[in-house]
Chain A
Amino acid sequence: MATVATCGGDAVGVGSAVATASKSNVTSFQRRGPRVSGTNDSGPRLVSITGTRPSVRNGQLLVSTGLPALDQLLGGGLAVGTVLLIEEDKYNIYSSLLFKYFLAEGIVNGHTLLVASANEDPANILQQIRPVSSSRFGHYYDASKRIPQELIEASKWHGFFLPEKISPTLKVEPCSLTHGYIKLLQFIQNIIYEEGFDGSNPQKKQKNILRIGIQNLGSPLWGDDICCTENGDSGHNLTKFLYVLRGLLRTSLSACIITMPTHLIQNKAFIAHVTNLSDTVVGLESFIGSERETNPLYKDYHGLIHIRQIPRLNNLVCDESDVKDLGFKLKRKLFTIEWVQDNYLRQERNIYPPGFSYLLKQKDSAWGEGSLQHSTFLMSFLAKGMGFPFFQLKLLLKDGFVLIKKGMLRDDSLRCSHSAI
């Protein structure tokens, strides 16, 4: 992408070390020194953009999503020029929280914001963002403090509130996209061009990131019928919108978060299309109102977080996390994401008391996932309970194959390696 060439060169000056804060606001991306001492002294001094850092894998420029835990799962952060799609949880509680974290991170770093919503005035959304105060690496939201008005006014932001932009009596001629989507794309393109985020305007040397947040995309309030009918989106409005939006992002210094109520979309093939057209896709599943709320396995968690897709940008491989079963919980100050392992262990120990040998069939895990990871992990844990340093795992696979894995427990046996046949 264009961004890497201009901004990724000065990797030396950017670090994510634990803060000894020289500024009052501390983010998870902290520069080591106030000035950048680039490795190439011959060229003009490049100023690195606040709140960004190059990826350790390929120097791709990354911004924080506002949640250090999520950054880690996404391979360091969100790449500039890409889309983060959040599949909303059922009551849009946690997804709107992630949305606000993303914007709050932008305010703290002095990024320009663009907030688009069809049901809530962007000014109200920004008012709800709690201030960031932290004493260590991470973000804390102090519920008792209000965000100072000056901070909002000092930050540059643009709001797109759909009812203000289109009048209901407007005569709409048939065109390729829903009217609301067209207006939003024109608005975004205008901001990118006017403020020089795409580098096309030689007068405006923009060295800042544009953070775009679009709420509830695809909901009926945007004039889209994809959530209402089974064969909705016959005009493919949403997919075309995503495609053109990604084209705009790829050629500018911007990052976008979109929340989408996918639980309302009945056409599963459509969700697959949307996933393919997005870069990073994260799904949230909250336990509120579901049978899992009373399940003792999940009693410490508020929901599950699924990392559905991580892009392979400028690379053949991507930083996929080994752990696929992640739960999140929201305590008063902290939104944490953890591998849901402890409860799993307790549950499994009840099912498989030690001292016996077990032939595990593929789907015997309490999660019903059937992943080899669970089975291997389970056996090593049980062996540990029995006090034997060795374990042998026999797994009955399809086509009559049997996997026999013998291993010796290590201290990190909870993450012992595994392979498939």
Chain B
Amino acid sequence: MFPELNNLLNTTPDRAEQGKLTLLCDAKTDGSFLVHHFLSFYLKANCKVCFVALIQSFSHYNIVGQKLGVNLTMARERGQLVFLEGLKSAVDVFFQAQEKPHPLQFLREASAGNLKPLFEFVRDALKPVDSGAAGWTYPVLLVDDLSVLLSLGLGAVAVLDFIHYCRATVCWELKGNVVVLVHDSGDVEDEENDILLNGLSHQSHLILRAEGLATGFCRDVHGQLRILWRRPSQSTSQRDQSLTYQYKIQDRSVSFFAKGMSPAVL
């Protein structure tokens, strides 16, 4: 996790809020550093994490996680981390017919499917074990990323249904958190992605939006991060709080600064 980002979000692993949906989105840049942050954050907070990693392999997250101070292999071995590796599972489900429904069953279907098997996988992964000996604080679902599901043929409504079920189970029933990443297509007309993004923005408690700079590529400032705190349940009289920072990604950390205060300029 990035200590500077914790300061901006005003959280630490010890006293993070529960029952929240966090939406990560990126536009014209790569927002995957936020996924790495939240993965290491919740592992350090001693949560039970279910990570649906659809876009990269396990070793990628493991190597970056080691730079951030968490060991994913060990977390998986002791049961703290349940990791669904999308790329590897896709090969399994595609070439061999499965007896029981596989979380990525929709890859085998010709028409648009639904994500019920994936939800059942998440629910089984995060349901509290009766023995209770493990002592994890609360469950967390992390998805990287939802736009892949749209690319693979699922409709925005199916993905929204999946998130709805996950929220009901993880956030409300189990008092845990859900963090998802969605790409913003920007000026490209992608109707399904816009529906998904708008729908999720409406339900989220916290939105982190990583954007590329409007002036183009820059070596010292990699992008801009917009943080938006929302209170979807309360009345709209209280205004949502929003902050904007610029950031530069380094090898092991990300440094944040106010707009125009990049160390390269000062």
Contact = CB atoms under 8 A, between A and B. Distances in A.
A1 B218 contact: no
Classify chain B's interface size: 35 or more
Nearest to A58: B63
A236 interface: yes
A243 B56 CA distance: 11
Given A244-B90, A246-B87, A320-B217, A419 B265 contact: yes
Nearest to A242: B151
Contact of A420 (B55, B63, B188, B215): B215
B132 interface: no
Interface stretch (A46-54, A114-122, A326-334, A370-378): A370-378
Interface string A232-265: 0001100110011011101100000000000000
A269 B190 contact: yes
B154 to A, nearest CB: 9
A243 B190 CA distance: 20
B86 to A, nearest CB: 8
Interface in A290-318: 312-317
A359 interface: no
A421 interface: yes
Nearest to A375: B215
Contacts of B220: 417, 419
A193 to B, nearest CB: 10
Nearest to A401: B260
B108 interface: yes
Interface residues of A, number: 50
A316 B249 contact: yes
Nearest to B66: A314
Nearest to B213: A420
B218 A251 contact: no
Contacts of B89: 247
Interface string B100-114: 000000011110000
B44 interface: no
Contacts of A96: none
A176 B106 CA distance: 9
Interface stretch (B4-12, B30-38, B171-179, B201-209): B30-38
A418 interface: yes
Given A176-B110, A272-B188, A421 B90 contact: no
Contacts of B130: none
Given A317-B249, A372-B218, A421 B95 contact: no
Contacts of B250: 316-317
Contacts of B254: 316
Interface string B142-153: 000001101111
Contacts of B87: 243, 246-247, 250-251
B110 A235 contact: yes
Contacts of A251: 57, 87-88, 91
Interface in B57-111: 57, 59-60, 63-64, 67, 86-91, 94-95, 107-110
Contact of A175 (B110, B190, B217): B110
Contact of B251 (A174, A273, A313, A317): A317
Contact of B90 (A243, A272, A373): A243
Nearest to A238: B151
18 contacts: A189-B91, A239-B153, A240-B152, A244-B91, A312-B30, A314-B59, A316-B67, A316-B254, A320-B217, A322-B217, A373-B216, A373-B217, A401-B260, A417-B264, A419-B220, A419-B265, A420-B213, A420-B218
Interface of B: 30, 32-33, 36, 55-57, 59-60, 63-64, 67, 86-91, 94-95, 107-110, 147-148, 150-153, 183, 185, 188-191, 193, 213-221, 249-252, 254, 259-260, 262, 264-265
